[in-house]
A = this chain, B = another copy of it.
């Protein structure tokens, strides 16, 4: 079976982006193309998968083809992949399978979202539709509210506290402050984050990711063509994905995400690696409690000990076994919904090639993981990467 590597990756700065959809995508794609060491032309792309939830609410059908048309990939078979905020995590998985299938040698996976052109009402609508509509959204449960329920329950079951969440916010802002592509490039003190404006008790402004514009693009290649493009590929060692019930009331537990656990099990199994082998992980911290749960679900901390892991800042850059969200994560790097999954891969690509800007490189990074969640855990894709392939 063919092995698959990432040979190029690029993204826009996340935030309030001045360009429209086509311009943002072209910028991300051009940066991905330019990151390829060898000869490359967009006409070499055999297949493409672009993740997006709302596309900024503008062109909503066939936009994937519009974007490839405007980035030199004329005629390429392309489709939009949508799984709420896990859209491009699944686009990446589908790109990986396309190469594994023997039908394509060079495949683009990307994602895009333009949130800041939407009215506040439409923004709320497009964020809300990622959770359960029938039992949650229409009953008034917002996304911060959903994760607030998870946080309160985790505090109750395991004795974790809001201070633990504050530590996650402080860490991710510390990382993001060093990331020139991050939406919010500033550190926050523990005191400031601990006394933030309340959004949904116990989650404050500093527990919630911002609403970002952004696009990200990565290029995958089959093992037999990798050498044409680079001597430093980043290998996809494992891919796992799963789904879960949308509505929280249908889940046996709301302090863990079954889809994350299942996806991680598959990805680790395939990679031959365990959580102990991972040097850095880009995890889906749409809210700080989501990162706390992810550290448990992905095996970086024991069940119920995510609070302690956060309290001791074990995920801080080069402080412990694994750096969690060296990019700043969704909290500080930003969260352009459909762009987030492949945006995580952009970070991993740079980290494993040891090409990160001064001050943010994870030392001796050999293996990495990405964790991309849709809604409140209805879908999840986990990927494991390495400088070497098993």
In the complex, are the beta carbons of B69 and A246 less than 8 A apart? yes
User: Given the complex, which residues of B lie within 8 Å of A69, measured CB to CB?
Assistant: 243-246, 250
Q: Which of B76, B102, B379 contacts A79 (CB 8 A)?
A: B379
Chain A, interface SS category: mixed
Q: Which of B79, B83, B244 contacts A75 (CB 8 A)?
A: B244
Q: Given A77-B93, A82-B80, A102-B100, does the pair A379, B129 have CB atoms closer than 8 Å?
A: no
Closest to A1 in B: B102
Q: For the complex, is A259 an interface residue (Cβ under 8 Å from B)? A: yes
* Closest CB in chain B relative to A25 CB, distance in Å: 14
Q: Which of B65, B132, B134 contacts A83 (CB 8 A)?
A: B65
Please name 21 pairs of A and B residues whose Cβ atoms are closer than 8 Å in the assembled complex, sorted by A: A53-B60, A53-B61, A60-B129, A61-B375, A62-B378, A65-B243, A65-B374, A75-B242, A75-B244, A75-B258, A79-B83, A81-B81, A94-B98, A97-B98, A97-B103, A99-B101, A100-B100, A100-B101, A100-B103, A101-B102, A103-B239
Closest to A66 in B: B246
In the complex, are the beta carbons of B83 and A80 less than 8 A apart? yes
> Which of chain A's residues 211-252 have a Cβ closer than 8 Å to chain B?
239, 241-246, 250
Q: Which of A66, A77, A78, A93 gathers most chain B CB within 10 Å?
A: A77
Q: How many copies does the complex hold?
A: 2
Closest to A250 in B: B69
Additional pairs, 16, CB under 8 Å, beyond known A82-B82, A100-B102: A58-B133, A59-B132, A59-B134, A61-B85, A65-B243, A65-B374, A66-B132, A69-B245, A75-B242, A75-B262, A77-B90, A77-B93, A77-B242, A78-B243, A78-B379, A79-B82
Q: For the complex, is A287 an interface residue (Cβ under 8 Å from B)? A: no
Q: For the complex, is A33 an interface residue (Cβ under 8 Å from B)? A: no
In the complex, are the beta carbons of B77 and A62 less than 8 A apart? no
Q: For the complex, is A342 an interface residue (Cβ under 8 Å from B)? A: no
Q: Which of A81, A258, A263 gathers most chain B CB within 10 Å?
A: A81
> Which of chain A's residues 252-272 have a Cβ closer than 8 Å to chain B?
258-259, 262-263
Q: Which of A53, A66, A76 gathers most chain B CB within 10 Å?
A: A66
